[in-house]
């Protein structure tokens, strides 16, 4: 359905869509558009902003309320960034500005029509486990934003599943066949962030031995998740803002900008508005990346999901270890359901991985479920202090604590169990902040990730 009061524009849109073998309905005002919607429920709506009897924004709202599965895109006046952002916030999946670039128009239409199928995909149930109303709402929100091109900011405590949400947005989007790249902004040394994100030219700084594409180039056509975005240095924030505005990146040392087509998602466990208030995050960038905000609820606010999650995670752990699936008995489940999980789903996963490694039978019992003794407030306190309090003493292993009979002829597994325990404690102490945990252990971020994966503590 095309909604515009300018005959020339309507004609141009009709011809373009006809060449794509699509038939069109036209309306020149809001009243006609409402009537066409009622009669035909079209597959897609393109609407102008200014209409003789009102504003296209009202049409977007109307469609969101009464026909939430119909994708709608807005045609905005050239340079009207605020209007475009408002349209995206109301639920438009994209916008095209006048004068209309036909290639962009074709892309938008293709994207919108592909997404209708992707919305039916069962992927959302497989990745994002949970059937509480909060999770159902989250799933709906994800399906809706998947079709949009708008930047999405995902907020939630550590370990709640922000990256899972980002992956799902990508998988349900028309970009699903293209790369999904997640980068932890806090894990890259400050002086390398710019080159990691945007690439560099040979010789642009010491160590730049060859041209190197950045993550924006690597994610071309797909989705880039800037995780822990609050940790981006201020000078890089300015550059990122420009990339979003210009849809082009300039590699370090390059003269020219290179066009980029990337869907940008960002996430953090911090409160970005506070970071803006404190001058650590630019408000213009905040406005741009926070066009659509998604809040992932903590696990203690959806305790009813714990049994389903526990079963799912246990299956995953067993599969990763090449062992048979193991059940969990009722008392053990009740113990889990009563716990607060300051580290959220990741903590549940770690507890189960440890329990799985230590369990002797085919069922986890209450004794296999062990929580760390630190409470949430202590963890937060540790987290706050963690930057200044890395141990400087060499590691000290108390003698006599290791019982040789526990090795049981398998040193490798025994050492893995100890390593798992150490990593677990470091992650818990640093509230699942891998950068801080790696620093505390005196290993690189990369090495920590490798070890977590190796020991089945992370995907
Ligand atoms: N709803 C869920 N269903 C299944 N697995 C989940 C769910 N939520 C989180 N997980 C699992 O929990 C772990 C942590 O999730 P994820 O990395 O997405 O959290 P996060 O919020 O991005 O964490 P951080 O703040 O540390 O970046 C992952 O192994 C993920 O697969």
Name which residue sits closest to atom 31 of ligand 1, judged by CA.
164
- Comparing CA positions, the residue from 186, 203, 216 lying closest to residue 254 is 203
Q: Are 314 and 356 in contact (CB under 8 A)?
A: yes
Is the domain 123-295 a CATH 3.40.50.300 member? yes
Question: Do the domains 300-454 and 123-295 match in fold?
Answer: no
Ligand 1 mean position to 347 CA, how many Å? Answer: 9
For residue 265, what are the contacts with CB-CB under 8 A and spacing of at least 6?
151, 152, 153, 154, 166, 169, 170, 223, 224, 225, 226
Looking at the CA of residue 348, tell me the nearest atom of ligand 1: 12
Ligand 1 mean position to 344 CA, how many Å? Answer: 8
Helix (H) or strand (E) holding 174: none
Asked if the ipTM is above 0.95, the reply is yes
What DSSP state is assigned to residue 302?
G
Interior angle at CA 82, CA 76 and CA 86, nearest 5: 80
- Comparing CA positions, the residue from 218, 187, 232 lying closest to residue 449 is 187
Ligand 1 mean position to 456 CA, how many Å? Answer: 14
pLDDT value for 427: 80
The pair of three-digit structure tokens given for residue 4, joined into one six-digit string: 């515009």
pLDDT value for 448: 83
Ligand 1 mean position to 453 CA, how many Å? Answer: 14
Q: Are 292 and 89 in contact (CB under 8 A)?
A: yes
The CA distances from residue 292 to 71, 153, 220, 229, 264, in Å, are 16, 6, 21, 15, 11
Helix (H) or strand (E) holding 294: strand 292-295
| 132 three-state secondary structure | coil
For residue 97, what are the contacts with CB-CB under 8 A and spacing of at least 6?
75, 76, 77, 78, 79, 80, 84
pLDDT value for 320: 81
Q: Whole-angstrom Cα distance, residue 186 to residue 18?
A: 48
The CA distances from residue 345 to 14, 422, 433, in Å, are 49, 19, 14
pLDDT value for 101: 84
Name which residue sits closest to atom 8 of ligand 1, judged by CA.
161
Which residues, judged by CB distance below 6 Å to any ligand atom, belong to the binding site of ligand 1?
128-130, 156, 158-164, 227, 269, 309, 312, 345-346, 349, 432, 458-459
Backbone angles phi, psi at 121, to 5 degrees: -60, 145
Candidates 3.50.50.60, 3.20.20.70, 3.40.50.2000, 3.40.50.2300; correct CATH number of 2-118? 3.40.50.2300
Candidates 1.20.1440.230, 3.40.50.80, 3.90.1150.10, 1.10.8.60; correct CATH number of 300-454? 1.10.8.60
- Comparing CA positions, the residue from 348, 316, 321 lying closest to residue 428 is 348
- The tens digit of pLDDT for each residue in 404-417 reads 777 777 777 778 77
In 3-state terms the chain splits into helix, strand, coil percentages (rounded to 5) of 50, 15, 35
Ligand 1 mean position to 308 CA, how many Å? Answer: 15
User: What percent of the chain clears pLDDT 70, i.e. is strictly above it?
Assistant: 89
- Comparing CA positions, the residue from 372, 378, 363, 457 lying closest to residue 419 is 457
The CA distances from residue 316 to 168, 296, 353, in Å, are 18, 22, 10
Q: Are 407 and 414 in contact (CB under 8 A)?
A: yes
Taking 70 as the pLDDT cut, the residues of the chain under it are 78-79, 114-126, 372-403, 431, 459
In the block, which residue shows the tokens 């999946």? 93
Domain ranges within the chain, ordered by starting residue: 2-118, 123-295, 300-454
Strands 212-213 and 199-200: antiparallel
Looking at the CA of residue 312, tell me the nearest atom of ligand 1: 4
- The tens digit of pLDDT for each residue in 370-419 reads 886 444 444 433 333 333 333 334 455 444 456 677 777 777 777 877 88
- The tens digit of pLDDT for each residue in 215-264 reads 999 999 999 999 999 999 999 999 999 999 999 999 999 999 999 999 99
Which of 137, 155, 158, 164, when mutated, tests ligand 1's pocket best, judged by the most ligand atoms within 8 Å of its CB?
A: 164
- Comparing CA positions, the residue from 151, 157, 121 lying closest to residue 139 is 121
């Amino acid at each position: 359905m095309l909604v515009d009061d300018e005959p020339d524009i309507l004609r141009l849109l009709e011809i373009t869509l006809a060449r794509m073998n699509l038939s069109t309905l036209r309306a020149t005002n809001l009243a006609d558009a409402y009537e066409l919607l009622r009669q035909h429920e079209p597959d897609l709506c393109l609407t102008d902003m200014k209409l003789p009897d009102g504003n296209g924004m009202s049409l977007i709202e109307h469609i969101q309320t009464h026909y939430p599965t119909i994708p709608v895109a807005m045609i905005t006046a050239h340079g009207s960034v605020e209007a475009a952002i408002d349209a995206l916030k109301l639920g438009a999946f994209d916008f095209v500005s006048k004068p209309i670039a036909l290639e962009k128009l074709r892309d938008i239409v293709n994207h919108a029509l592909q997404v209708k199928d992707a919305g039916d995909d069962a992927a959302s149930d497989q990745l994002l486990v949970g059937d509480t109303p909060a999770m159902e709402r989250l799933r709906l929100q994800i399906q809706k934003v998947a079709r949009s091109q708008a930047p999405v900011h995902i907020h939630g405590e550590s370990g709640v599943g922000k990256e899972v949400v980002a992956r799902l947005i990508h998988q349900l989007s028309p970009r699903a066949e293209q790369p999904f790249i997640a980068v932890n902004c806090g894990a890259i040394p400050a002086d390398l962030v710019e080159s990691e994100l945007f690439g560099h030219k040979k010789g642009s700084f010491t160590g730049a031995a060859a041209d190197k594409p950045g993550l924006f180039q690597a994610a071309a056509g797909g989705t880039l998740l800037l995780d822990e975005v609050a940790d981006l240095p201020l000078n890089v924030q300015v550059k990122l803002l420009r990339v979003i505005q210009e849809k082009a990146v300039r590699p370090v040392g390059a003269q020219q900008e290179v066009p980029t087509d990337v869907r940008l998602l960002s996430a953090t466990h911090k409160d970005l508005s506070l970071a803006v208030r404190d001058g650590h995050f630019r408000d213009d960038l905040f406005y741009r990346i926070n066009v659509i905000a998604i809040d992932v609820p903590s696990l203690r606010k959806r305790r009813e999901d714990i049994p389903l999650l526990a079963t799912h995670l246990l299956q995953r752990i067993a599969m990763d270890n090449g062992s048979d699936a193991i059940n969990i008995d009722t008392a053990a489940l009740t113990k889990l359901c009563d716990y607060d999980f300051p580290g959220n789903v990741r903590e549940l996963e770690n507890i189960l991985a440890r329990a799985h490694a230590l369990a002797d039978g085919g069922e986890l019992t209450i004794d296999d479920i062990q929580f760390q003794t630190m409470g949430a407030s202590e963890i937060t306190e540790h987290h706050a202090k963690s930057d200044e309090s890395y141990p400087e003493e060499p590691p000290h292993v108390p003698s006599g604590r290791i019982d040789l009979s526990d090795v049981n002829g398998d040193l490798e597994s025994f050492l893995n169990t100890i390593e798992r325990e150490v990593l677990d404690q470091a992650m818990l102490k640093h509230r699942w902040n891998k950068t801080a945990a790696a620093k505390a252990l005196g290993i690189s971020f990369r090495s920590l990730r490798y070890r977590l994966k190796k020991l089945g503590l992370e995907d």
